[in-house]
Amino acid sequence: MTKDKIVLGIESSCDETACALVNDKKEILSSVVWSQYDEHRQFGGVVPEIAARAHLEKCIVLIKEAMKKAGKTYDDLSAVAVAGGPGLIGGVLVGVMTAKAIAWARQLPFIAVNHLEGHALTARLSNPVKFPYLLLLTSGGHCQLLIVESVGKYKKLGGTIDDSAGEAFDKVAKMLEVGYPGGPNVELWAKKGNPKAFQFPVPMKGRVGCDFSFSGLKTAVRVCIEKQPNLTDTIKQDICASFQQAVIKQMSDRLDHGIEMFKSMYPTAKDLVVAGGVAANLSVRRMLEEKAQKNGLIFSAPPVNLCTDNGVMIAWAGMERHLLGISDGFDFKARPRWPLESL
């Protein structure tokens, strides 16, 4: 009997320290995520230096925990994967140096995973998604429509010209003081609100191509808040619901163009995937599901807990690379910027 291949994945590119072990049978052997919410809450956003120090404190502890939970030792590993960027460089460095040390000491392949590729490939762990597929990648740092042609091969159809969708959620949450982290709290407040209460603009609607823009929407929300003589909880809920609706309307419009382009390039391809932190939003997922149905596509999304940053996505993307015989040298440099199209 051949031994299962097992990859250890380490994620430390933003405000989550996370580790996981996955095997080549698509089983998650363990997954531990430590979110730094308490460290950053008082600042209303991630402070890079605080994040880096917190990663340093937690990284080894979490790796040990992930190994123990999986009931594995370093001898059982086939490779070590780490988010090599893009991200906050202090945190990325912590993960990369730790992964290199383990790989070097145990003579294992070292795999630097692009964090975005981690998001992009996770749906293939949870669902039978086939290449090529259309991907809406929407996180705190990015908002893009891409065709995932294979591991390491991405065709970008469009991206944001200013803020990402996650950033807009976070900024609206901050303006309304509904709590940190922003996205999940705005979604929570939106559930109780009326999405038709405020008519926010839908930037880019009707424009050719697949680019996104959220900065005008964010400004419209700010102006709306300033106009309220009394910002009651009901008004806050209505603003959250109306804002979320405007984000979804823009995504829907951009997807119409993206699907058209995808179908003309790959007439027999069938998969539509959403990934990244904002993909945890149930209203966003619902819109995509309907869109897929209307267009004869199959919709897939990672489970909600694998949409926001986690170690499983890095371990799995590492596994996909490992199975193709791809690894990186110990001279790999942590990268603050690393566009998917450059892979």
Which residues are at the interface with ligand KG4 (CB under 6 A)?
14, 139-141, 166, 169-170, 181-184, 187, 276-278, 280-281, 308-309
Helix residue spans in 278-342 (DSSP H): 282-294, 311-323
Instruction: Find tokens 């694998």 and name the residue.
Output: 306
In the complex, minimum distance from the CB of residue 224 to Zn ion, in angstroms, rounded to a whole number:
29
Select from 62-70, 78-86, 138-146, 208-216 the region that touches Zn ion (CB under 5 A): 138-146
Which lies closer to ligand KG4 via its Cβ, residue 252 or residue 295? 252
Task: Show contacts with Zn ion in window 279-338 (CB under 5 A).
Answer: 309
Distance, CA of 104 to CA of 10 (rounded, Å)? 15
Which lies closer to Zn ion via its Cβ, residue 117 or residue 309? 309
Distance, CA of 239 to CA of 176 (rounded, Å)? 9
Which lies closer to Zn ion via its Cβ, residue 139 or residue 244? 139
Which lies closer to ligand KG4 via its Cβ, residue 169 or residue 198? 169
Distance, CA of 339 to CA of 156 (rounded, Å)? 10
In the complex, minimum distance from the CB of residue 267 to Zn ion, in angstroms, rounded to a whole number:
31
Q: Classify burial at 297, counting beta carbons within 10 Å of its beta carbon; exposed 0-12, middle 13-18, buried 19 or more.
A: buried
Which lies closer to ligand KG4 via its Cβ, residue 108 or residue 116? 116
Among ligand KG4, Zn ion, none, the one that 311 touches (CB under a kind-dependent 5 to 8 A) is none
Instruction: Give every CB contact of residue 333 below 8 A, 6+ residues apart in sequence.
Output: none
In the complex, minimum distance from the CB of residue 115 to ligand KG4, in angstroms, rounded to a whole number:
6
In the complex, minimum distance from the CB of residue 336 to ligand KG4, in angstroms, rounded to a whole number:
13
* Contact with Zn ion (CB under 5 A) among 78, 139, 300, 310: 139
Q: Classify burial at 107, counting beta carbons within 10 Å of its beta carbon; exposed 0-12, middle 13-18, buried 19 or more.
A: exposed
Residue 342 Cα distances to 75, 240, 250, angstroms: 34, 36, 27
Q: Classify burial at 162, counting beta carbons within 10 Å of its beta carbon; exposed 0-12, middle 13-18, buried 19 or more.
A: middle
Among ligand KG4, Zn ion, none, the one that 170 touches (CB under a kind-dependent 5 to 8 A) is ligand KG4
The answer to whether 250 touches 203, Cβ cutoff 8 Å, is yes
Select from 69-77, 137-145, 161-169, 201-209 the region that touches Zn ion (CB under 5 A): 137-145
Among Zn ion, ligand KG4, none, the one that 200 touches (CB under a kind-dependent 5 to 8 A) is none
Contacts with Zn ion, residue ranges (CB under 5 A): 139, 309
